[in-house]
Amino acid sequence: MRVYLLTSTFPFGTAEQFLEAETHYWSLRKDVELTIIPTRCPASMRDLPDNVQVDTSMAWHPRTIRRHIPQALADTFTKPVAAEIASRLYAPWHLVPLGKSILKYSHFRQNLKKLVAKIPPDSVLYTYWFNEATYALSSMKQRKNFILVSRAHGDDVYEEANPFCYLPMRTRFLSGIDKIYTITQSAEKYMSDRYGIAPNILETHPLGVENHDITVQPSPSGHLHILSCSYLVEVKRIDKIIQAIAMLGEKLVDLKIQWTHIGGGSLDKFARQFATKSFENLSNVSFHFTGPLPNKNVLSFYRNNPVDIFVNLSDSEGVPVTIMEALSCGVPVIAPEIGGIPDLLTHQHNGLLLRKNFSIDDVVKAMSDITLFKSPEIRKNAKLRYLRNYAASVNYPAFIDTVLELARSFH
């Protein structure tokens, strides 16, 4: 069976880390020919299994996508797009993101026509994101017999995670989609409640990370090692982590606190300067920015260092791979009740779950529960949550089986 996987950038660049593991399990299927189609190619290509193909013909650049402006103008008169425009007239500020969405939709519709024209009948077209590429393929279902499925993560699910709290054209192309696979139960419920998507179209299949048999030990008595790992961008709110650690250092002066952050980004210089200033009068607090690290180096860090707490204070999340990896190593987590994080964490079971609109005091209080984070039982629970729900060796084969069974049911 032919499977065409449309991604954002994978296998180029460093994003969409989950696809590294998922692609491996697709490649093990002897009854599948997988072709990956990135919609952008921003950097060098990562290694792939020999039997996985890559097609870059759909890749776009902001300079070249403008060529589709005439087609986008024409598409505004099609029934689904015109209906979406009419529904936004009460909120004219939505017309800017809608215009960008129509332009992307037109680009993908024009380019994907070529792909759809040449694929064998009953192929599976699998979009990794529920976005304009999915809509474009949905609009072509009547012309060609193929199976269309899509993943739905975080930014492509929750309107609150997007500018103006708006995701254009969410419900205009559902008739051509055979299945939407959310990665959390909370996302499935949100899409059903918010967009009225029929239950038979929605199904939850969690992502997963590989089991590297790492069990991290807590640091010695009198010490606390806090770890965070993310891009240094505004939505990750590294400033809140720094503020909380500074307040913790002032509160627990006899505790030796070490904070390590893994990752880089546009706020790298700001974060380093803010940390230096925030901790300058705290002799009991030290910090280290590793910069961006390949995943193998992140795993090496876990193998060679005690870690007491993994902390995530983002404003918006789907299901963070970094939290999954922390749990897989037996490290409890502090994180807010947003996106798919409540699926990962149970309060006082494998970490501490903060309310959605948490305060810095809430974070300091959570970090102060040192006995909980060093507890063998809590750390065991962290690993068990991973093994039961987020092991790649279980989740991806199950997901692939589901997609292929769906495709066969149409034969």
pLDDT tens for each residue of 109-140: 888 988 899 898 889 999 999 999 999 999 99
What is the spatial distance between Cα 52 and Cα 235, in angstroms, rounded to a whole number? Answer: 34
The answer to whether residues 114 and 53 belong to one domain is: yes
Let me know how many helices (H) and strands (E) the chain has, helices first. 16, 13
Domain count, the chain: 2
In a domain, 218, yes or no: no
- On whether both 203 and 241 belong to a single domain, the answer is no
213: in domain: no
Whole-angstrom distance, CA of residue 220 vs CA of residue 258: 12
User: Residue 75 — pLDDT band, cuts 50, 70, 90?
Assistant: confident
183 and 267 co-located in one domain? no
CA distance to 13, 149, 253, 259, 261, per residue, from 265 (Å): 14, 33, 31, 18, 12
* φ/ψ (deg, to 5) at 148: -115, 120
79: number of Cβ within 10 Å? 8
Same domain, 35 and 51: yes
91-106 per-position pLDDT tens digit: 999 999 999 999 889 9
- Model-level pTM? 0.86
330 and 235 in one domain?
yes
How many CB atoms lie under 10 A from the CB of residue 310? 26
- What pLDDT is attached to residue 411? 67
User: What does the alpha-carbon distance between residue 78 and residue 61 come to, in Å, rounded to a whole number?
Assistant: 25
* Domain CATH number, residue 250: 3.40.50.2000
Judge whether residue 68 has pLDDT over 70: no
**Do residues 23 and 160 share a domain?**
yes
Peptide bond connecting 92 to the previous residue in cis, omega within 30 degrees of 0? no
Domain housing 315: 223-389
Confirm whether 32 is domain-assigned: yes
372 and 347 share one domain: yes
What's the whole-number average pLDDT of the chain? 92
